[in-house]
Amino acid sequence: MCSKILYIVLILFAFNVYSQQDIPGQRKGAPSLTKGFTVNEDLFIRGSLGVGNDMDADFSFTYSTTSYEFAMAENNLRILFDDASSAGNYPDNDWMFEFNDQQYGGLGNFKIKDVSNSTTPFYIGANAPDNSLFVQNISKDGSAQIGLGLALSTPVSFPLNIYSSSNPSIRMQQTGGVSNDYSWEFGLNQNVFEIRDVDAGTTPLKIANDGSRFTVEDNQIVFSRDTEIKGCLYIGDSDTDGSWRISNINGVLTFEIRDNGSWEVAMELD
Amino acid sequence: MKIRNLILLLMLISLISLYAQVNPKSFGGSFSGIKEYMPDDVKIKGSLGLGPHMISGTQFGSNTMILRDENIRWYFHDDSKSTHPGMNWLFQFNDSVIAGNNYFQVISDSAGDTGIPLTIMAGAPDYSLYIKENSGFIGMGTSNPLTNLHIADDSNPTITFEQDGSCNWGSYIWQLKADHESFSIVNASLSTTPIVIEAGAPDSTFYFNSSGAINIGTENNGSDGIIDGDVQTSKLLLGYWTISSENGTLVFKSHSNKKVFKVSKSQ
């Protein structure tokens, strides 16, 4: 009789325990662990993983039409990659993914930090437009193309492609020190390509559309259109004896040669 | 009777084993011995440490998750059907060979065909690549990019254009350089600087208008170019004609290189 009662108790206990087990593909009552514990083996999760001090039991891994395999919920989101290499000369640099500044009034951003060297080499500010940095390879030669400001939907030939609704520009800034801070820009719009001297506030070079008639080749500068010279034309060095100067002086085409430091008229055409 | 006892003993052992899998805390809060398998979502209200070198009792600080290993790799396996995008991706941290490099890489992996579109080497300075809030402007060496691409360096910020020779053409390098003295276009392969614009050069020092005319020192829109100032050259070519100075004599030559006209110093 005792044996039969024991059998019944054990069978009921077995059903009770088995009912807590999760069967793959079916949702069952998962165990809830409220304190830290250690898994000393590989862990496989056929579902999603949520981590963080603010990860609630009712957290949804679905947002809009997207479902997440992994989510974090906390007021300081950090993932540390601690390379534990110690033997010999193996690389052991530590890295971190950091989401948003930590301090009050800080900025929203995603950063990749080089923990070992205390630098932040990569930064994406919150609300940066779509395709601020777009990398693809759809060229025939296997080279990469980078798009700044636009997804490259068709093959392009150039490694760097900069898009903007207005005045796409590149700024080059020397930051060496107070006296040597200097910036140049080059950019374009629908009318002109130009090189701008930012610190002087000037635009020393402008090329209007369809105006590319200027080339530098084989030690020659080529002007492809008629060109009026309002000043003088020097053949040779303007400071060296033996050089020539051609100029229009009051309607007279004047040819002068430099001799003993001064210009002497050699021929005049009236 | 012995068989009945044996069955009872086996049932007890199996139940204890089953119970242990459901309630690990009852075994000191530690799993071991088998590959653990969770058939549903797992939510951790706390931090997560991963990797064979993770030490029990690790202080997480502000870190929500820490991965600790000698070779840290984070693999994203997309098992979409072939009709859908299914590229796999890998985050890789540092080489796994002696004297290898320290880096972070984003690697695409399709059936062993890997690509490395992003590499950040350890020790790269702050804001080597910076994407600014709202504007999306890219900073290289600056956290305040003011144009679509803003390159900052303590000396001589430079852009290099390299034809790398991997095609049928030879390798060749040009550079754009900017500093407090000038903006210049450098032929790095020949070590020459064919175009220099000095800092402070006035507006329209060079103005190439839409008629194709080249203007120097003036924003002229006529079909003929204007040079508002002097021009100095070693030789002037006018169509088929050449004007040059030879030993103090101004020589006009035709395209056949025949001297047809000379002007000498007045005697």
Quick: pLDDT tens for B207-224: 888 877 888 888 888 888
User: Of all residues in chain B, what percent carry a pLDDT higher than 70?
Assistant: 86
pLDDT value at B57 more than 90: no
> Residues A55, B39: contact at Cβ < 8 Å?
no
pLDDT value at B24 more than 60: no
Summary mean pLDDT of chain B: 84
> Residues A259, A241: contact at Cβ < 8 Å?
yes
Alpha-carbon torsion angle A15, A21, A27, A32, nearest 10: 120
- Could you read off the pLDDT tens digit of each residue along chain A, which spans 270 residues? 566 666 666 665 555 555 444 433 333 444 566 567 788 888 889 889 999 999 998 988 887 667 888 999 999 999 999 999 987 889 999 999 999 999 999 999 999 999 999 999 999 999 998 889 888 776 555 667 788 887 766 656 677 888 888 889 999 999 987 668 999 999 988 888 899 999 999 998 888 776 545 665 566 666 766 777 888 888 887 888 889 999 888 888 899 999 999 999 988 887
pLDDT value at B166 more than 80: no
Distance from CA of A249 to the nearest CA of B (A): 13
Sorted by sequence, the CB contacts under 8 Å of residue A97 that are 6+ apart come out as A78, A79, A81, A110, A111, A112, A113
Model pLDDT, residue A37: 77
Q: Which helix (H) or strand (E) holds A18?
A: helix A2-20
Q: How far is CA A76 from CA A51, A52, A99, B64, in A?
A: 12, 9, 7, 7
Kindly determine whether residue A41 and residue B118, on different chains, have CB atoms separated by under 8 Å: no
Q: List CB contacts (< 8 A) between B99 and chain A.
A: 89
Sheet of B172-178: strands edge to edge?
B158-163, B172-178, B182-187, B192-198
Model pLDDT, residue A146: 83
What is the mean predicted confidence (pLDDT) over B254-267? 74
Distance from CA of B169 to the nearest CA of A (A): 13
B27 pLDDT band (50/70/90 cuts)?
very low
pLDDT value at B235 more than 60: yes
Query: Positive or negative, the Cα torsion across B17, B22, B26, B27?
Result: positive
- Answer whether residue A242 is part of any domain: yes
- Answer whether residue A120 is part of any domain: no
Indicate the range of A16-30, A142-156, B88-102, B240-254 predicted with least confidence. A16-30
B40: nearest CA partner in chain A: A47
DSSP character at residue A126: T
Amino acid (1-letter code) at residue A222: V
Shared domain check, A214 and A175 = yes
Closest by Cβ to A76, choosing from B62, B100, B167: B62
How many CA atoms are closer than 13 Å to the CA of B210, on its beta-carbon side? 5
Closest by Cβ to B123, choosing from A51, A117, A175: A117
Model pLDDT, residue A49: 94
Shared domain check, A173 and A214 = yes
Distance from CA of B37 to the nearest CA of A (A): 5
The Cα angle at residue B259 between residues B256 and B265, in degrees rounded to 5:
155
pLDDT value at B20 more than 60: no
Q: Does B229 touch chain A (CB under 8 A)?
A: yes
- Answer whether residue A151 is part of any domain: no
Model pLDDT, residue A6: 61
Give which of B31, B104, B134 to mutate to test A binding, by max A Cβ within 10 Å.
B104
Each domain of chain B, given as residue ranges in start order, spans 157-198, 202-232, 235-267
Give which of B26, B41, B56, B68 to mutate to test A binding, by max A Cβ within 10 Å.
B41
Range of the domain at A238: 228-269
- Answer whether residue A235 is part of any domain: yes
Q: List CB contacts (< 8 A) between B70 and chain A.
A: 83-86, 90
Sorted by sequence, the CB contacts under 8 Å of residue A155 that are 6+ apart come out as A138, A139, A140
Q: Does B85 touch chain A (CB under 8 A)?
A: no
Model pLDDT, residue A24: 37
Shared domain check, A232 and A215 = no
Give CA–CA dist B127/B150, Å, rounded.
11
- Answer whether residue A190 is part of any domain: yes
Shared domain check, A245 and A212 = no
Distance from CA of B258 to the nearest CA of A (A): 19
pLDDT value at B72 more than 80: yes
Neighbours of A255 (CB within 10 A): 18
pLDDT value at B70 more than 50: yes
Number of domains in chain A: 2
Shared domain check, A208 and A240 = no
Q: List CB contacts (< 8 A) between A102 and chain B.
A: 62
Distance from CA of B149 to the nearest CA of A (A): 5
* Residue labelled with tokens 């093959």: A155
Model pLDDT, residue A14: 56
- Answer whether residue A69 is part of any domain: no
What is the mean predicted confidence (pLDDT) over B157-162? 90
User: What would the pLDDT profile of B77-86 be if each residue is shown by its tens digit?
Assistant: 988 888 888 8
Q: Where are the alpha helices (DSSP H) in A44-145?
A: none
**Closest CA relative to residue A13, chosen from B2, B16, B197:** B16
Model pLDDT, residue B121: 95
Give the residue with greater pLDDT, A77 vs B240. A77
Kindly determine whether residue A172 and residue B53, on different chains, have CB atoms separated by under 8 Å: no
Q: Does B178 touch chain A (CB under 8 A)?
A: yes
B194 pLDDT band (50/70/90 cuts)?
confident
